[in-house]
Amino acid sequence: MVKLNLRQWTQLASVSGRELVGVELGATGVKIVKIAISLNKIELLDAWSANTSGSTDEEIAKMIRSKFSELNLRTASVINIIPTGLVITKNIEIPSTNPSEIKDIISLQAGRHTPYSREEIIVDYVDIGVYKNNYSKILLVIVARTIVKRQIEILEKAGLKFDDSLLAAEGIACASAKLLKVDAQNAPAAIVHIDESSTDFIMVFKGKPLFIRSLPLGAVHMSAERQTYETKFIEEIRRSLEAYQNEDIEKLPLTLAICGALSDIKGLENVLGQTLHFTIKGIAYLTHIAVSQYALKQVTSFGRVSFFDVLAPLVSQDKTKVNLIPEEIRLRKAFQERGRDLVKTGIFVLTMAVLIFSVFLTNIYAKSTILKKLDKKFQTIHDDARELEASFTKINLIKDYVSRRGYALEVLGEIYAIITDDILLNDIRFDDEGRFSVRGTAEAMSSVFSFVEQLGKSKYFKDVKTRYTTKRKEGLKDVTDFEIQSALVKTD
């Protein structure tokens, strides 16, 4: 039996002609990258960056909104990219190989690895692999909820809705084989991504990040004071390799690839190779991807800024595992997806209903032809029936008239039998619908009540009620004006 996953089918069908936009909000800057993905091509269409030091969130949102107005977007998906320097990563071991149990254990223990409480963080992980049959090696990824919340608020102020919140370092690891041609299938490889003011050290194996470390040194430091910061940079790389080795995750890498903002720090791979005794490769990250002339001009103009940490997660979106979306937003998106599925189901049901209706309509048309023949055949009988119905109506009218003849006199006779000498009736009214009213004057209020009571006991009246009673002076006497209403009861 074949099972169809509607969500996977939708993603597969939407690959051709798809546009993705990545937005990375760092501590001191913002980056935006736009790519187009088709079945056989990935093209970088635009890249942009701005320094946000000293800017308010409203000003940053305005910058982003201004740039998005230039991107000419129609159906592009927006991805929030979280810089490596804003997250905490830990390599831990979990005594289970069951994904559900691993998730539960991580949820319980994540707070122990940070100075934050469990409610103040968002947690996800990469399952590196199983060892000793019963243990799983896990790369734990933790980010403060306030960081992601601020990013979301800025994007919303800019009028954007994002689909995912991906980790830059994992995107680099997943895209390293495609964009950098780094072979990490048989042995781990180290990737050193140099950005403007920071560097990501990522250990990659089989498309997964094994170890991540963020270094507070970037292209702006080494291009300004090359000798001073080059020594510090090499020392930080050595410490990163030692930290990875101490975690006993996998064997040491055979290759170290340097990428990112390398235009102002050429020759760095040679210095690293002489010091670390590794095979060092300096790789331009735009070599193995189509780049529009405008995008190339943009990337070149931001010389010390690397867009690889935004580009890579977009290219490898379908391979990444870490998604640092707050739980409330995750639930909201789940409800939205269910809503879309319900709409699709509704369309399917409506289509089936139309088909079924068409079948019934065909049957009805065939039967209507037969009915037309029957109508012609029984037209004479129908005319006779109409004449008979008209005669029957006349008989009923005559019968009703005869039955009502003298009824008014019967009602008046009944009133005459009930009324007492101290009551004077001024007005008596009743109609064909059975509404009856009487107005008069009584010498005492009790006479009115007695009259109402007697009317209620009569077989000619029902629902007898006094509409009003009003006392007044008539000469030296007190009299009471009244009006009584009721419904008439037809008697045989």
From CA 90, how far away is CA 200, in angstroms rounded? 15
State the burial class of residue 253 (Cβ atoms within 10 Å of its Cβ: 0-12, 13-18, 19+): buried
Do 188 and 203 contact (CB within 8 A), yes or no?
yes
Domains annotated for the chain, with CATH where assigned, are: 15-325 (3.30.420.380), 344-401 (no CATH), 407-488 (3.30.1360.100)
pLDDT of residue 109: 82
From CA 261, how far away is CA 193, in angstroms rounded? 8
The total of other beta-carbon atoms located within 10 Å of residue 388's CB is 10
pLDDT above 50 (res 9): no
- Of 175-179, 204-208, 338-342, which range is least confident? 338-342
pLDDT of residue 401: 64
pLDDT above 90 (res 459): no
Structure tokens at 171: 């995107």
Share of the chain above pLDDT 90, in %: 43
- Of 122-136, 338-352, 374-388, which range is least confident? 374-388
pLDDT of residue 491: 67
pLDDT of residue 307: 96
pLDDT of residue 162: 83
pLDDT above 50 (res 4): no
| Closest to 30 in 3D by CA, of 4, 66, 1 | 66
15-46 pLDDT tens trace: 456 889 999 999 899 999 999 988 888 999 99
Q: What is the mean pLDDT of residues 215-235?
A: 89
For the chain, give the mean pLDDT.
Answer: 87
Q: What is the DSSP letter of 257?
A: E
283-326 pLDDT tens trace: 999 999 999 999 999 999 998 999 999 999 999 998 999 989 88
Spell out the residues 6+ positions from residue 269 whose beta carbon is closer than 8 angstroms to its own. 258, 280, 281, 282
From CA 230, how far away is CA 215, in angstroms rounded? 13
pTM of the model: 0.66
Q: How confident is the model at residue 87 (pLDDT cuts 50, 70, 90)?
A: very high
- Of 21-25, 166-170, 347-351, which range is least confident? 347-351
434-458 pLDDT tens trace: 888 999 998 888 888 888 888 888 8
Q: What is the mean pLDDT of residues 252-280?
A: 87
